[in-house]
Amino acid sequence: MVALIIFWSLAPVLWILISSISTRAELYSVPPHWLPQNVTFTAYKNVLISGEGFRGGGGISAAELIRKGILNSVFIAVITTALVMIFAPLLGYAFSRLTFRGRNLFFYIIIGIIALPSWPVLIGLFSVFSAIGLLDTKLGLILLSFTFRIPFETWFMKGYFESVPSELEDAARIDGCTHIQTLYKVSIHVVRPGLIAVSIISFLFTWNMFTAPLVLTYTLRSKPLTVVMTEFIGQYFVHWDLMSAAAVLAIIPPVAIVLFFQKYIVKGLSAGAIK
Amino acid sequence: MKKRFLNWLDNRQHLAYTIIIPTLFLLLCFAYYPAIQSFRFSFLKYNIKMPGRTGFNGLVNYIAVLRDPQFIKSVIRVSYFMSIATVLVVLISLGIALTLNVKFGGRGILRTIIIIPWAIPPVVNGFLWKWIFNGDFGALNGLLFQLGIIDKYQFWLNNPFVALNLSIFMFVWRYSPFITVLFLGVLQSIPNELYEAARVDGAGPLGQFFFITVPSLQRVGAIAVILILIASFTVFDDIYALMGFDEATKTPMIYNYEVTFEMGRFGKGSAMAYMIGIFLFILTMLYIRMSFRKEKA
């Protein structure tokens, strides 16, 4: 049973990894070479460094395509995550520790986004983006993924704040700390596990994002890795060696994060789904 | 000056509004306003490729969607997709969660490994399986051939029904880990004393399973079903990568994209998006209500 679970979870990923280091001859052999006899990194060289042109590339080399895609993806995901890391604790603090007029109303407006279906938004967004010049920009994608993550993260952080006692914060307030000082000197340590969870999930969400950039970007100036990968698919021919290498590169960051922060993710996921 | 500002900011009302307003502004610009825009589009004759011929159209777009045989077929297709996917995800996740709930060496590592499929970008997941299902050199062909199940390579994705089932499989593979984690969380919160008490009362392993494990999973199970229904209805990236706009796997999401962004028919596309949206909205509200109920309990 355990062996079956390991096979189920890992085999497809291992297969793409093996494909990415196989020679073309072995990649296109029948029956497949499950373990490559000659290991080669040509595909990685092609998508990262030397980058020969490829059929269907439209004059852009494979390396240029993937390098740009990776840079864009990293930039968009890192900035979005940073914004979430700044705003999620602030919003969580505001909705759990501060009383102010319209608190419930504002909270419902924010988490209302969760119930808002994404498809109508995306169609309208196309015209909003083109009206204010955000079409095909990284800034547009950053603002967009922030907009769609922050409701979940606010909801989660509010819950997290409410689940930890506020005595330490009250003491800090009595000692003369301002709200901001209390938040950054005291609360932030208490809610750190929650903050790590929301940051990771925001990063994964942004890195994996596909539909919105597919609609809202059209040049290498802003296309993320997920979108540039689709260009290895021609009408009749798919470059499976390049595709495998690019797929591995796209899989590495999220999988590394999952392996590294597993315990926070499990907490974040379950708390996010059942509160 | 700075001090005065800091003092002003320390008022809980001022601080709260200062925090909330930037976020609220973004949400209004990039979520609520676009939704209103496309609602307006849904009543227009509006093709982005011919913006000059835009005009009010009443309910024509909505009627056109409902009478579009392609749309009806896509709804039937996705209903099949959702039912099979829900059953499979629940069964597989439950199986894995129950196995991982038993104490054994290496359980921690295994728990990490099983989340991996969930972390893969969905569009990459589509490419991954497109390569595995490949008719000329795919691993599925290779495996079945070497096991002697098939005697020559098959073009699996050329058969519409097989392609639909394989795309369900692909979704199930990516989405099960998430549900497994939910189940596992609940399984671990069942106090051991409950099982001990049952043993004392003479309940065997099966009795314990049906009288303790199953009832404890009831609420999370219901939430899981709604989550899977939403996720399997909205799956787009994987199918787009695996099949493109192929008829065989054209779900409403794929068809909606094709109508709107490939054909440029923003009017009809918006109407379709709203019809899909209402359905999703109902599911999401159900989900939110159920999750909140637990919070209060």
Per-residue pLDDT of chain B (297 residues; tens, 9 = 90+): 778 888 888 888 899 999 999 999 999 999 999 999 999 999 999 998 888 778 888 899 999 999 999 999 999 999 999 999 999 999 999 999 999 988 888 888 888 899 999 999 999 999 999 999 998 888 999 999 889 888 888 899 999 999 999 999 999 999 999 999 999 988 988 888 888 888 888 888 888 888 888 888 988 999 999 999 999 999 999 999 999 999 999 999 999 999 999 999 999 999 999 999 999 999 988 888 887 765 544
Specify if B15 maps to a domain: yes
The structure tokens listed for A231 are: 């260009």
- Structural domains for chain A: 64-239+247-273 (1.10.3720.10)
> Between helices A103-115 and A138-163, what is the axis angle to 10°?
120
Nearest residue on chain A to B281, alpha-carbon basis: A115
3-state DSSP call for residue A233? Answer: strand
**What SS3 class is residue B263?**
coil
What ipTM was reported for this prediction? 0.89
Determine, for residues A262 and B134 on separate chains, whether the beta-carbon distance falls below 8 Å. no
Looking at residue A87, the DSSP 8-state letter turns out to be H
- In this structure, the answer to whether residues B8 and B117 fall within a common structural domain is no
Q: Which residues of chain A make contact with B256, given a CB cutoff of 8 A?
A: 119
Residue B26 shares a structural domain with residue B118: no
Chain A with chain B: Cβ pairs closer than 8 A: 267
Q: What is the DSSP letter of A76?
A: H
Shared domain for B216 and B142, answered yes or no, is yes
Cα dihedral A68/A74/A80/A86 (nearest 10): -140
Q: State whether residue B33 sits within 8 Å of chain A by CB.
A: yes
pLDDT for B105 = 82
Contacts of A27 in chain B (CB under 8 A): 137
What is the residue type of B194? Answer: L
Domain check: are B183 and B273 in the same one?
A: yes
CA dihedral for A178, A179, A182, A183, sign (positive or negative) = negative
Nearest to B31 among A5, A113, A259 (CB): A113
Is residue B116 one of the residues assigned to a domain? Answer: yes
C-alpha angle B122/B173/B134, rounded to 5°? 75
DSSP string, B42-99: TTEE-BTT-GGG-EE-TTHHHHHHHT-HHHHHHHHHHHHHHHHHHHHHHHHHHHHHHH
B239 within some domain: yes
Are both B82 and B8 inside the same structural domain? no
Residue B36 domain-assigned (yes or no): no
What region does A187 belong to: left with phi over 0, alpha with psi -120 to 50, or beta?
alpha
Look at residues A229, A216, A207 and name the one whose alpha carbon lies nearest to residue A67.
A229
Q: Which residue of B has its CA nearest to A141?
A: B30
Question: Residue B250 falls within a domain, yes or no?
Answer: yes
A257 is written with which tokens?
């994060």
pTM above 0.95, yes or no: no
Q: Which chain B residues are within 8 Å of A231, Cβ to Cβ? A: none
Find tokens 């049906």 and name the residue: B210
> How many Å apart are CA A217 and CA B115, to the nearest integer?
30
The pLDDT of residue A275 is 41
B-proximal residues of A, 60-119, CB under 8 Å: 87, 90-91, 93-94, 98-101, 103, 106, 109-110, 113-119
**B37 assigned to some structural domain:** no
Provide the token pair at B19.
């925090």
Residue B177 included in any domain? yes
3-state secondary structure of A12: helix
Does B101 lie in the same domain as B65? Answer: yes
Q: Does A15 touch chain B (CB under 8 A)?
A: yes
Rounded-to-integer distance, Cα B183 and Cα B224, Å:
9
The SS3 of residue B265 is: strand
In this complex, do B128 and A12 lie within 8 Å of one another by their Cβ atoms?
Answer: yes
- Residue B82 contacts residue B285 (beta carbons within 8 Å): no
Does B131 contact A244 at a Cβ distance shorter than 8 Å? yes
Contact A94 B153 (CB under 8 A): no
Q: Identify the DSSP state of B210.
A: I
A-facing residues of B in 140-159 (CB < 8 A) are: 141-142, 145-146, 153
Question: Searching chain A, which residue's CA lies closest to the CA of residue B115?
Answer: A258
Give the range of the structural domain holding residue B18, as residue numbers without chain letter.
1-31
Per-residue pLDDT tens, chain A, 275 aa: give them.
888 999 999 999 999 999 999 888 888 887 888 888 888 888 888 888 876 666 655 667 888 889 999 999 999 999 999 999 999 999 999 999 999 999 999 999 999 898 888 889 999 999 999 999 999 999 999 999 999 999 999 999 998 899 888 888 888 888 888 888 888 888 888 898 899 999 999 999 999 999 999 999 999 999 999 999 888 776 667 788 889 999 999 999 999 998 888 888 877 766 655 54
pLDDT score at B297: 42
Residue A125 and residue B34: Cβ atoms within 8 Å?
Answer: yes
Structure token digits, residue A82: 């940073």
pLDDT for position A71: 96
Tokens of A140: 């547009």
Tell me: do B57 and B140 sit in the same domain: yes
- Give me the residue label for tokens 């497109």: B130
DSSP A230: G
Q: Is the Cβ pair B182, A94 closer than 8 Å?
A: no
B44 bridge partner residues: B56
Residue with tokens 């990923």: A13
| Distances, alpha carbon A82 to alpha carbons A196, B180, B214, in Å | 11, 29, 41
Using the beta-carbon criterion (under 8 Å), do B9 and A178 form an inter-chain contact?
yes
* Residue B190 sits in the same domain as residue B235: yes
b/e map A188-227, b = 16+ CB within 10 Å: eebbeebbbbbbbbbbbbbbbbbbbbbbbbeebebbbbbb
B160 and B62: one domain? yes
**Residue B107 domain-assigned?**
yes
pLDDT of B12? 84
* Claim to verify: residue B27 and residue B81 sit in the same structural domain: no
Residues of chain A neighbouring B219 (CB-CB closer than 8 A): 274
Residues B14 and B49 in one domain: no
Q: Cβ distance A140 to A222 under 8 Å? A: yes
A106 contacts B295? CB cut-off 8 A: no
Do the Cβ atoms of A120 and B38 come within 8 Å?
yes
B43 touches chain A (CB under 8 A): no
Number of domains, chain B: 2
Q: Chain-centre distance of CA A81, in angstroms? A: 8
CATH of the domain at B281: 1.10.3720.10
Compute the distance between CA of residue B97 and CA of residue A233 in angstroms, rounded to an integer: 37
Are both B191 and B252 inside the same structural domain? yes
Contact A66, A48 (CB under 8 A): yes
Nearest to B157 by CA among A238, A77, A190: A238
